[in-house]
Amino acid sequence: MEETFKHIITDHNGILYKIARSYASEQADFDDLYQEILVQLWQSFPRFEGKAKVSTWIYRVALNTALTFTKKKKRKLATSQVTAWIADTVEDSASQLAFEKAQQKRIDLLYLCINELAKEERALILLHLEGKSYEESAEIMGITSNYVGVKIMRIKKRLFTLLSEKGYGGI
Amino acid sequence: MEEFDLGAIWKENEEGANAYYEGLGEDVVEIARRQSSSVVQRMKRNAWIELLAGILLWAGIFYWFKDNPLFGYLAGFGLIIYLGTGVGLYKMLIRFREINSMNVFDSITAYLKLFRKSYRRAQLLMYVLLPIGYTLGFFMGFLAAGGTIDKIQDPWKIGLILSISVLILAAFIWFTTRKYMYWMYGQYIDELQDIHDNLKEEELVL
């Protein structure tokens, strides 16, 4: 069971990272949320019967965890090397090519704007950017695919406005 | 700005995700086995604490007041409240183990139901248990101090004093319970209600 879980997480770690970044604006909160998603997935794993796709199950658990997540100051991921590692990466990037630096800036700016959206809007745009169809998003969110389409149109407009205001074009 | 720009940037995310995952530095199962700090977990923990505290409280009451003539009333009343609320809440928390793997809308609806049930339980405990417990405690103290019912010379006066003090106590409890519940769950209920309403908005839009 442990090995299967590990394989699933290794294959889908991107989902955890992107959801945690979309719902946490600070490093400590990000670490906490990432860990909490892992805990919830592990607890839910024995009851996962494979009726839905693995990715659908992960999105549901991760989004539900993120939506009820609140900042906790006391507990942090007990991997101090993670924070150190991130700091190293950022410092390294300073000496990298301008293209890569711009790329990193664009990603950071995108997350900054996503963080300003309402919580349910973040979930929907995240699923859209992940390439999920309206039907898949509807299955994860529990709403109709027509409504997913309507909401995505609105959210994209708002996201583009936010990106423009924050100088996306200049990067 | 074109949409495909966003899609391309989003894909570049994968590098960061993989690098973070590889940099975790410990087994992913070890991390996943840690204690959850979710709100449901906290409610479950609180329910356990309340159940255990209730047992200790009743053990203490039994030890000190078992010979009191009113002990049977107090014990019976307490047991009904205890079983009716504590056990019910715990059973519901167990039932909600799957709350996180439901779709987002159903999960939020279930969370709200859980919060409201917990809120109602706290209200029942505070509004009913404390004033009645206070009144019973008043008479038990009177009897324990050597008093007897026939020694009460002015029952109306005692009744009035008790009624006024119970009303004051009830008002105080009403205020503090609301504050306490909002402090415990208020932010979750408000936020989740907003998300719930926004997702439910579809009936009006479509």
Whole-model pTM?
A: 0.76
pLDDT tens digits for A48-103?
877 778 999 999 999 999 988 876 554 444 444 444 434 444 455 555 567 667 77
- Provide the domain count of chain B: 1
Residue B9 belongs to some domain of the structure: no
Percentage, residues of chain B above pLDDT 70: 88
ipTM of the complex: 0.80
Cross-chain Cβ contact B32/A144 below 8 Å: no
User: Which among B3, B104, B198 has the least Cβ separation from residue A64?
Assistant: B104
Cross-chain Cβ contact B21/A103 below 8 Å: no
Chain A positions in Cβ-Cβ contact with residue B190 (cut-off 8 Å): none
Residue B31 belongs to some domain of the structure: no
Residue A4 belongs to some domain of the structure: yes
- Determine the structural domain holding residue A8 and report its residue range: 1-72
**B103 contact partners, CB below 8 Å, separation of at least 6:** A60, A139, A140, A141, A142
pLDDT tens digits for B21-57?
888 867 888 888 887 877 777 777 777 787 788 788 8
Give the whole-angstrom CA distance, residue A106 versus residue B12. Answer: 10
Give the whole-angstrom CA distance, residue B197 versus residue B55. Answer: 40
CATH number at residue A115: 1.10.10.10
pLDDT higher at B190 or B95: B190
- Helix residue spans in chain B (DSSP H): 3-22, 28-32, 39-65, 71-81, 88-95, 104-124, 130-144, 155-181, 187-200, 202-205
User: Which among A77, A89, A129 has the least Cβ separation from residue B19?
Assistant: A89
**What is the pLDDT averaged over residues B98-115?**
87
Cross-chain Cβ contact B194/A131 below 8 Å: no
pLDDT tens digits for A94-120?
555 676 677 778 888 889 999 999 999
Instruction: Name the minimum distance, in Å, from the CA of B41 to any CA of chain A.
Output: 10
